[in-house]
Amino acid sequence: MDIIRDILDRVYGGKDRTPEEIECELRKDYGGERVYIPKDGDREHAEISERNTAIRADWLRGERMELIVRRYRVTRQRIYQIVKGLP
């Protein structure tokens, strides 16, 4: 689970808890850990996933590499990485 989403759910989740109670929960769950916070959240992840699906579809239709590179503004290397995951 994304730690940012977890914190927001705890703060705004509708349960009547004091800030001190929320702090105790968070310290108990995450205390002492190195937490990774990705730059992109769920929304951006979904957009990238949709883009990758479109790139795969274009590739399977036989689109020229140069056109895919320009259309999606990614490198040839990144396109090869994306299409490598094809079933």
Domain ranges of the chain: 1-37, 42-84
Contacts of 40 (CB under 8 A, 6+ apart): 48
Q: Residue type at 43?
A: R
- Alpha-carbon distance 13 to 8, whole Å? 7
Burial class (CB in 10 A: 0-12, 13-18, 19+), 39: exposed
- Token pair of 47, please? 């957009």
Answer with the residue of higher pLDDT: 35 or 21. 21
Q: Give the pLDDT confidence score for residue 41 in this predicted structure.
A: 65
Q: What confidence tens digit (pLDDT) does each residue in 35-79 have?
A: 777 776 667 777 888 999 999 999 999 999 999 999 999 999 999
